[in-house]
Structure 1
């Protein structure tokens, strides 16, 4: 190995260490919420004792002790600060992480592999809030998330809209002609389908955009690249082959913020979910209520229902506040004409 290769490997290891430190600190915060007292001297001694037993050249016991005393000290500090944990789907560098920070810079974003993990984690009090994509300007509603929202017991307390720019990333600087296969989340691949087809690249779905970037960095497959947030290049030590490979420059994704608590405070937007009756014109009846009350709909999503009765499930966003007279009348009328009606929340909305 030459010096350049050695330094590149050191950078990769440093990136892994940083990611593992973040994971450890998050687990420390979780532990602080369930243990009876903040300090556990016996546990700290046990950690240091175990590490010293594992030490050996070139890692000395003294170095390990200094390092972990610092880590333990920082962990206890974080437990005292009572930081809020925000779950998002994906790995470090995912757009969900960006949305978490955009919503509240004081949050600690925590990656989850699946959308269902985000919902379950918030519901089980593992996380304070969850941030998930619900709608994209190019590809429409994200049905899997809409289904989880409508079926779950969480509430919508806010939203964030991000302009999405995708970059083509590889573990080495190569020309576009050398890229034969690209990995990314199915939504990202769909948002870049013209670019992919134009360059005759095979697309392969992956569970996450940032996860695809991480895989490319670790496995270094020949002729492969990832479509992901440009920030993933610096996080995982990748090369940017091309920026803004999305097909539409008007490419926005709306993320919703989920909480166990209901938000009926200040806001200009409401979300509801319900099942319509199994009859012709059932949805039209509901939509006419909005029309008659002069309420503007901003999103309507049809969700595949697991109900065997043939009823259809819907998720609707509309402008207005829970305390507005016309909103109160609308909700009362809809509740009487639908099944399983639920007000998901009133919150400050963004325009897509």
Structure 2
């Protein structure tokens, strides 16, 4: 049985993603992304399911910063349609609501109903945690923005369903494991995640990335981040479409290594079907 760690409480979007990926597995809720990664590193969990991007809010977790130092590898990705319900204690009505609680990203993704209601907001550590807090308060003046599963789990009434601003709101999750488990080169759509550090020479980044352009390799993401407080060269987190064993990808990676002081592949995994539908 696979044990999947995630940040958040039961009923959260991360819990929903973990259950969809490992329906027969065991869930291990964690208070932070770092704790979820540590659970895998220390053997308390087999995998961690971590949100990295949201179509409305952008970056969710700093996986590009956390992952290289964790020693873990990306073995899968999953796209989850995000739905939020406004929920309150049993018997509560919208007219009674004065304060709405949720995670900061959820509040940002439900601005329309918050403006409509004119309610004040409180930031919680987690969407499902906000639902639990409302249930514990037992006060009809308090409501939560949380995934639909949280209402049933914490015994709340749905005051208004599907209140997210964007009906196409989607979060991308990655599955992290201690073992590399790179997907074989089978001709199926594949993603490769890596990070690199360029040499401290003029135009190093331009030259390092030139191989992807000349080889026709699509970069779906590139992010930079600084390590330490000094003037160290930036590190870059990159995701590309393709497998390292493909000739065009191998050529691009060869050129990248020539202009980089360090290149590390963090994962080679099947592309989720959502990419083809986008």
2:271 pairs with 1:349: yes
CA distance in 1, matches of 2:178, 2:145: 33
List aligned pairs for 1:330-349, cutoff 5 A.
330-349=252-271
**How many Å apart are 1:348 and its aligned residue?**
0.8
Match of 1:167 in 2: 85
Max radius of gyration: which structure? Answer: 1
Higher strand residue share = 2
2:229 pairs with 1:311: no
CA distance in 2, matches of 1:347, 1:243: 35
Match of 2:41 in 1: 123
2:138 pairs with 1:220: yes
Higher helix residue share = 1
Give the TM-score, by structure 2 length. 0.90
2:183 pairs with 1:261: no
Where 2:62 maps in the other structure, the secondary structure is helix
Where 1:218 maps in the other structure, the secondary structure is helix
Q: 1:136 to 1:339 in 2, by over 3 A?
A: farther
CA distance in 2, matches of 1:310, 1:332: 23
**How many Å apart are 1:222 and its aligned residue?**
4.8
List aligned pairs for 1:1-352, cutoff 5 A.
83-266=1-184, 268-278=190-200, 281-306=203-228, 308-350=230-272, 351=275
Q: 1:271 to 1:200 in 2, by over 3 A?
A: same
The 8 Å contact of residues 182 and 204 in structure 1, kept in 2 or not, is answered as: yes
The 8 Å contact of residues 103 and 159 in structure 1, kept in 2 or not, is answered as: no
Q: Which moved more, 1:201-210 or 1:336-345?
A: 336-345
Q: 1:282 to 1:247 in 2, by over 3 A?
A: farther
CA distance in 2, matches of 1:116, 1:240: 32
**Aligned residue pairs, count:** 270
Where 1:225 maps in the other structure, the secondary structure is strand
1:167-218 C-alpha deviation (Å, 9 max, x unpaired): 1111134333432221111121121123222321222221111111111112
CA distance in 1, matches of 2:77, 2:150: 23
**How many Å apart are 1:304 and its aligned residue?**
4.9
Q: Which moved more, 1:284-293 or 1:222-231?
A: 284-293
**How many Å apart are 1:277 and its aligned residue?**
4.2
CA distance in 1, matches of 2:234, 2:139: 45
1:121-147 C-alpha deviation (Å, 9 max, x unpaired): 100111000000011111112243332
Q: Per chain length, whose mean CA-contact separation is higher, i.e. which structure has more relative contact order (CA < 8 Å, sep 6+)?
A: 2
RMSD of aligned residue pairs (Cα, Å): 1.9
1:139-166 C-alpha deviation (Å, 9 max, x unpaired): 1122433321233210000011011011
Q: 1:218 to 1:165 in 2, by over 3 A?
A: same
Q: Which moved more, 1:311-320 or 1:300-309?
A: 300-309
CA distance in 1, matches of 2:100, 2:153: 19
